[in-house]
Amino acid sequence: MVGRRSQPSERRRLHRMRPRPESPGRAPVPTAPWSRKDRILAVLVPALLATIACVQIARVHTLDQSPWSGAGFGMFATIDGETTRSIHGVVVSGDETTEAALPENLRRSAFELAVVPTESATDELAERWAEELDLPDDAHLVVSVRSVDIDQDLRLTTDVIVEGTS
């Protein structure tokens, strides 16, 4: 004997009444109140994240630190960053100026300067760079950190963020 097919509305009611099988890997919905310990543990890491991200924002605004760097979330938000900033050295001797290549052993320092381009760090890099070049007494090295910008016509222009001398 073939049983009668239940009406759609009845089937829906029966479906709702059927106990839902416990899904493997799914934790039961919590009902107990939060313990004080758990409340604190849950908030610690988000609070740490927010604090460091706020410090990063402050450092960007006060030290010209790269928005892309320093445990903040400014990546892919602005052109200005350590990878688009460039470091240039020019030897000045009297009226003559000559471009100077960055020594290999100063690459890391130059990168750190691009991240946080302070005047003191720029002067320090200029000193070390000049020592590597073994400049004559009447010459000095000017180091600049430049950022790049783009206009509506796709023209790239550079701007000096900070300059230092040996």
Partner 1 sequence: MTATRLADDGPLRRLVDGSYVDHLCTLTLVVVVINSNEDPPLFLAALAALVVGVLRPGWTRTPWWWFATAAVLAVRQISDWQGIDNHVVVTTYWTLALALGLAADDPARVLARSARWIVGLVFGFAVYWKLASPDFLDGDFFRFTLLTDDRFDAVARWIGGVPNEAMVLNEASWLAVLRGDEGALLVGGPRLDALALFMAWFAIVTESFIAVAHLAPLRGRWVVLRPASLLFFCLGTYIVVPVGGFGCLLAVLALADDELTPTWRRAYLWLFAGLVVYGPIWWLLFG
User: Which spans of this chain sit near partner 1 (rule: CB under 8 A)?
Assistant: 23, 25-27, 29-30, 32, 34-35, 37-38, 41-46, 48-50, 53, 57, 67, 69-80, 82, 86, 88, 99, 111-112, 115-116, 148-151, 153-158
Measured from the CB atom, the residue of 4 and 15 that comes closer to partner 1 is 15
Minimum CB separation of residue 12 from partner 1 in Å reads 18
Count of residues in the chain = 166
- Residue 122 tokens, joined: 């720029």
- Report in angstroms how near the CB of residue 84 gets to partner 1 at its nearest: 8
Is 93 within 8 Å of 108 (Cβ atoms)?
no
Secondary structure (DSSP) of 41-64: HHHHHHHHHHHHHHHHHHHHHHH-
Phi, psi of 139 (to 5 degrees): -115, 150
Report which DSSP code applies to 68.
Answer: T
Residue nearer to partner 1 on the CB measure, 14 or 160: 160
Cα separation, 117 vs 69, whole angstroms = 12
| Residue placing its CB nearer to partner 1 in the complex, 5 or 108 | 108
Shorter beta-carbon distance to partner 1: residue 64 or 82: 82
